[in-house]
Structure 1
Amino acid sequence: MKVIGHLINGALTHNDDSGAGFRLQDVTNPSTNEVLGKVSLASKATVEEAIAAAETAYPAWRNTPTAKRVRIMYRLRDLLEQNADKICELITLEHGKVLNDAMGELQRGIENIEYVCSAPEMLKGEHSKNVGPAIDSWSEFQPLGVCAGITPFNFPAMVPLWMWPMAIACGNTFILKPSERTPSSALFIAELGIEAGIPAGVLNVVNGDKEAVDTILTDKRIQAVSFVGSTPIAEYVYTTGTAHGKRVQAFGGAKNHAIVMPDADLDNAVAALMGAAYGSCGERCMAISVAVAVGNDTADTLVEKLKEQIATLKVGDGMDNQNDMGPLVTSAHLEKVQGLIATGVEEGAKLVIDGRNLRTPGLEQGNYLGACLFDHVKPEMIIHSSEIFGPVLCIMRVETMQEAMDIIDRHEYGNGTCLFTRDGEAARYFSDNIKVGMVGINVPLPVPVAHHSFGGWKRSLFGDLHAYGPDSVRFYTKRKTITQRWPASGVREGAQFSFPSNG
């Protein structure tokens, strides 16, 4: 059976396989729950070996010209495109999302690589001549050293590509710890990075669980950590990492609301909501899981149109592009989502469409759940306060847009939101005043493109800097400012005791 190991110092290794502490975990196909292979869970010693390799590689890599580092990124982009079908197959086999969805994920990752290729421009410093008598001053951006990324199961290709390409283009070395549920695509992409020319030790991958995470968070050789996952773990990563002197950005959970105004184009809004709520089986931190309808007439029409569209959804194996939605990632997660659905019913929400009744002939052992639709959801209900992370859309009913905005602003999460309307004044007011980090107007998944930055507000983000885009350059570098003066030869100067100024 295939064993998925680690990539350390430029070579694939299982590393722990001779030790008493060797641990393996099954990697399964969520469409069938068939075991695809086993992933090696790194021990503390294995992670420390990867950190040592990165630390050893750092001095030479730091001093490698930026243009040379970026040429590797160009080659990597080409290799990703050439191997796209294989990468997407690995994603779908381990995660379950439909192949077309996996291809969209990979394309977003490639777009990030293309942005990274502009690193020589972004790393240019600033220079000022004669800031004082014969004094010049300039600033430059220097790498931090060894950095690390801890990434989630739901975007096993895209999220790592948010992190390590920019980190190493800026001159850092990197340790990637992918999700142990979906390890293969991240490891294969890292191998392509080595093929593209990344030197040994500059990029390392360690698969593992909490033991690996805690080693990353506490080892003093690691200078910065980027994390994407649930809010409780994000908070743990942030508090632990910063307590050990690291720069940390930790992206947590979400509960993304869409407000549907009475003047909205409801047919287009429903089409958008279908993809945003049920795409990738709802396992997206930017998924729309709550639609807040302004007015009962709007809500009634919205629910009827959603019912019609849900009836046409095709749910099945993600390897078949004819399907709209695949399975949930694990049987444990399926049980969790089913439990939250039951809680919603107990709380008094109306379950208009019950996806628990879905039948998938030939795939009965898979983690399948059909699209679910709740109506008359109240703010205090658990299905509204919790991130369900499944194919569940909740409808809430309010009288005004301001009431809808108040519901969104009171929620602990502030990742993404959108407004469906034809009213420009309402759209401007909403986008200017809503307390959420990423806002769409008639755009249900307002994920920024590669040359902007991704990040939410409130308990959706711990740390000050967002992912990829301009913020990633700031996260993976530190500014140094140099002030220089060369006194004229033979000129003697007296001591100056007042604070220096140009006055």
Structure 2
Amino acid sequence: MTTSSSISTVKLLIDGQFVESTTEQWRDIVNPATQEVLARVPFATAAEIDRAVASAKEAFKSWRKTPIGARARIFLKYQQLIRENMKELAAILTAEQGKTLADAEGDVFRGLEVVEHAAGIGNLQLGELANNVASGVDTYTLLQPLGVCAGITPFNFPAMIPLWMFPMAIATGNTFVLKPSEQDPMVTMRLAELALEAGVPPGVLNVVHGGAEAVNAICDHPDIKAVSFVGSTKVGTHVYNRASQAGKRVQCMMGAKNHAIVLPDAHKEQTLNNLAGAAFGAAGQRCMALSVVVLVGEAQAWIPDLVAKARTLKVNAGVEAGTDVGPLVSCAALDRVSGLIERGVQEGAKLELDGRNPSVAGYEHGNFVGPTLFSGVTPEMSIYREEIFGPVLCIMAADTMDDAIA
């Protein structure tokens, strides 16, 4: 753990102020292509998390009464600021997360689309009225804010997913406590700075950092009314159970094992391009990554073509021009993905293309795994059952589409 005072520290955002944590527990934020320590992030204390929630609770008293038009104007300004700072945001994201600059800009842009949606909150907040549903009876609905909401976001989309959460919650009159991933919180903090610049009042948006203890504190806190989570199935299940048992509204979006079925009459070149992009884009670190492709009938002869397509992808640091596959986010992720590849070999799958230990000039210490393909995969194998979260594609075979679906 790096302790040098020359390395910057990530702050907490509490009541409109960026404050230094008093914690004794810190984590290095590491560039996954170089292993350079970019900053240190604190694991907020219980008292700091309580202060953030208390600030949000107090701010809710006035924010919920703020006219819809006033809230919308903040998000009109916010989307403008995000556009003006797109390149800077993407550069921060690439440095700490590893994805290519093009992917990083896409990460920010997909979040920006939600901010644009939030700016139209006036139309989204309309209730309903039905006259004379019975003699002398009218019915109507009102949409009202809940109070303090919280978000727990993952490392793989550190701009997009926070922007999925707090803009809509705040635009609808709630206040928010955000806990971004401790692996790459810097771009999220820059987005928080821009939110304040756009006019989000003190206490309406708060940001804390941490690991399991911070997650549990959010799930348990009696003043938090709703929790949104994106991340692994294991953690998401825990969050859903713990927060719902505490009486909160909870939504959890978790892992996946996505399949594609390729029929022999598919357009070959287009299909190969789509398979490569879906399986290896973002180094496979997304819940919508393609994990398994089932080749039906004569399409089974496409395996050499798919291997050849995968070989054309350039593995390099995200900042380098022409990069298709950047590094995995951490050394732990590299070890996990490499270990699953080895288990695939041991369990009998055929390793058609081994992406382990690629040579990346100038980035010899990066967490790189190149595109990897297995054929002969069966449902009992670890590489089929587990979400690998790396650039690994499992190939299966079927005689008919019905067999593939079954």
Give TM-score scaled by structure 2 length.
0.97
Q: Which residue of 2 aligns with 1:2?
A: 8
Q: Which residue of 2 aligns with 1:440?
A: none
Q: How does 1:38-187 map to 2 (within 5 A)?
A: 38-187=40-189
Q: Deviations over 1:328-364 (max 9, x none)?
A: 0001110000000000001111001001141112211
Q: Is residue 15 of structure 1 aligned with residue 17 of structure 2?
A: no
Q: Secondary structure at the match of 1:394?
A: strand
- The size of the alignment, in residue pairs, is 400
- Distance, in Å, in 2 between the alignment partners of 1:360 and 1:120 is 51
How much has 1:135 moved relative to structure 2? Answer: 3.8
Q: Is the 8 A contact 1:163 1:226 kept in 2?
A: yes
- Distance, in Å, in 1 between the alignment partners of 2:312 and 2:21 is 49
Q: Deviations over 1:257-290 (max 9, x none)?
A: 1100111111101001111111110001000011
Aligned amino acid, residue 191 of structure 2: I
Aligned amino acid, residue 3 of structure 1: T
- Distance, in Å, in 2 between the alignment partners of 1:244 and 1:116 is 29
Between the aligned residues of both structures, percent identity stands at 48
Q: Which residue of 2 aligns with 1:455?
A: none
Q: Deviations over 1:294-315 (max 9, x none)?
A: 11x31222x1111221221111
Q: Is the 8 A contact 2:11 2:20 kept in 1?
A: yes
How much has 1:132 moved relative to structure 2? Answer: 4.2
Q: Is the 8 A contact 1:343 1:383 kept in 2?
A: yes
Q: Is residue 404 of structure 1 aligned with residue 404 of structure 2?
A: yes
Q: Is the 8 A contact 1:260 1:294 kept in 2?
A: yes
Aligned amino acid, residue 299 of structure 2: T
Aligned amino acid, residue 32 of structure 2: P
Q: Which residue of 1 aligns with 2:29?
A: 27
Q: Which residue of 2 aligns with 1:300?
A: 301
Q: Secondary structure at the match of 1:379?
A: coil
How much has 1:28 moved relative to structure 2? Answer: 0.2
- Distance, in Å, in 1 between the alignment partners of 2:379 and 2:266 is 23
How much has 1:133 moved relative to structure 2? Answer: 4.5
How much has 1:379 moved relative to structure 2? Answer: 1.3
Q: Secondary structure at the match of 1:142?
A: coil
Aligned amino acid, residue 300 of structure 1: A
Q: Is the 8 A contact 2:56 2:175 kept in 1?
A: yes
Larger Rg computed on CA atoms: 1
Q: Is the 8 A contact 1:293 1:299 kept in 2?
A: yes
Q: Is residue 363 of structure 1 aligned with residue 363 of structure 2?
A: yes
- Distance, in Å, in 2 between the alignment partners of 1:162 and 1:116 is 10
How much has 1:137 moved relative to structure 2? Answer: 2.6
How much has 1:381 moved relative to structure 2? Answer: 0.9
What is the root-mean-square deviation of aligned Cα atoms in Å?
A: 1.0
Q: Is residue 254 of structure 1 aligned with residue 256 of structure 2?
A: yes
Q: Deviations over 1:370-424 (max 9, x none)?
A: 1101111111111001000001011000111122212xxxxxxxxxxxxxxxxxx
Which runs of 4 or more aligned residues in structure 1 lie more than 4 Å from their structure 2 counterparts after TM superposition?
none
Q: How does 1:266-277 map to 2 (within 5 A)?
A: 266-277=268-279
Q: Is residue 239 of structure 1 aligned with residue 241 of structure 2?
A: yes
| Structure 2: tracts of 5 or more residues without a match | 1-6
Give TM-score scaled by structure 1 length.
0.78
- Distance, in Å, in 1 between the alignment partners of 2:307 and 2:140 is 61
- Distance, in Å, in 2 between the alignment partners of 1:187 and 1:257 is 35
How much has 1:134 moved relative to structure 2? Answer: 4.1
- Distance, in Å, in 1 between the alignment partners of 2:314 and 2:46 is 44
Q: Is the 8 A contact 1:100 1:321 kept in 2?
A: no
- Distance, in Å, in 2 between the alignment partners of 1:137 and 1:101 is 48
Q: Secondary structure at the match of 1:280?
A: helix
Q: Which residue of 1 aligns with 2:3?
A: none
Q: Is the 8 A contact 1:356 1:369 kept in 2?
A: yes
Q: How does 1:423-462 map to 2 (within 5 A)?
A: none
